Amino acid sequence: MNIKNLLAAIAVGVSSLTIAGHSEAADKKVVIGYQTDALPSSVAIANGEYAKATGYDIDFRRFNSGAEIFAAIASGDVEVGYVGSSPFAAAASRGLDIKAFYLSSISGIDEALVVRNGSGIETLNDLKGKKLAAAPVSTDHYQLLALIKSLGLSEKDVQVFAIPQPEIVASYNRGDIDGGFVWDPALTELKKNGKVLVTSKEVADKGAPTFSAWVATSKFAKDSPEFLKGFATVTNKYYASFTADKAAWGPESDNAKALAKLLGGTPEQQAAALKNLTLLTPDAQASNAWLGGGESAGAAKILKDTASFLKEQGKVSEVLPNYGAFVTAEALATATN
């Protein structure tokens, strides 16, 4: 082979390698839906660490609710998303093939029913005849309905409006509704002219526990286990930092500033919202009490109980025999703590 042909062959080879490299990089793409909840791990969205750690080209898209994220998953636009257990139970009951692989938080004081000053509501006994709101098919909507039922009331006794959080804030400020079951940033906004009547944790203690989780389509979970492992590892890192180093998450911290830039509000509001979270350690999440154990997993039981309640309310038409197929501890079991 003469030198001219040799150079040509090398050029073809290099070109082929370049094309193959670009093809491989193009294959490692994922669209992820997130919400405005303040989470330690959201800093990794803001600074790009999820992409760096996993090697994936990640398109993060912001949504107003878990119901919107599940609609995007069902349409094929999103492969991984951050959702609450109520829309999760509804989506699973309707046949969407998804798996929770990381629990972001469980029922705490980061979600609550706030009642407006001047509404005439001082205690839970004052809810009859009032107008309340929550985001459609959200954990807040589920807990609001469960709370009303626990008081021996129905939606005939209490008007419940299922509307997006921005509309809840606007309606509340106009005086059109008496209260809203919400999460931040709406929670902070409503408290400016009202008070917390009951928290998500208190409703959970009454028998309606919830959780928020990162879910993936079953196909993506099967095809990309290393991504979920890397995602869980990064999330573990930020949760561990938040637990061990409170000063690094205060109102003046870079972390709080990053959250405010990504999610809105002020660093002070984000730092305050983080304090309201109820978090689980990776080991606790991977145990049978939550994501491990298949059908007997705690998260699977919550999904089934939630689905049963939603069916009673006419929100879903079917409750599956069990929800073990919708939770997995695999990513957490292989992730680095």
Q: Kindly report, residue by residue over 147-173, the tens digit of the pLDDT.
A: 999 999 998 999 999 999 999 999 999
Q: How far apart are CA 275 and CA 187, in angstroms?
A: 14
Residue located via tokens 């979600």:
111
Residue 102 neighbours by CB under 8 Å, 6+ apart: 213, 214, 231, 232, 235, 285, 331, 332
What is the spatial distance between Cα 66 and Cα 134, in angstroms, rounded to a whole number? 13
Q: How far is CA 49 from the centre of its chain?
A: 19
pLDDT at 20: 40
> Is the fold of 28-106+210-334 the same as that of 111-205?
yes
Q: What is the pLDDT of residues 77-116, one digit of tens each?
A: 999 999 999 999 999 999 999 999 999 999 999 999 999 9
- pLDDT on residue 98: 98
Instruction: Output the pLDDT for position 6.
Output: 39
| Separation CA 137–CA 194 (nearest Å) | 24
| CA 323 – CA 316 distance, rounded (Å) | 15
The Cα-based distances of 4 to 8, 18, 55 in angstroms read: 6, 21, 38
The topology (CATH level 3) of 111-205 is D-Maltodextrin-Binding Protein; domain 2 (3.40.190)
- Tell whether domain 28-106+210-334 is in CATH 3.40.190.10: yes
User: In this predicted structure, what is the pLDDT of residue 123?
Assistant: 98
Please report, for the chain, the start and end positions of each structural domain, with discontinuous segments joined by +. 28-106+210-334, 111-205
pLDDT value at residue 337:
85
pLDDT along the chain (337 residues), means of 10: 42 42 62 96 98 98 95 98 97 97 95 98 97 94 96 94 95 98 94 98 95 98 97 98 96 98 94 94 96 94 96 93 97 94
For 70, 197, 295, the CA distances from 324, given in Å and listed in that order, are: 19, 34, 4
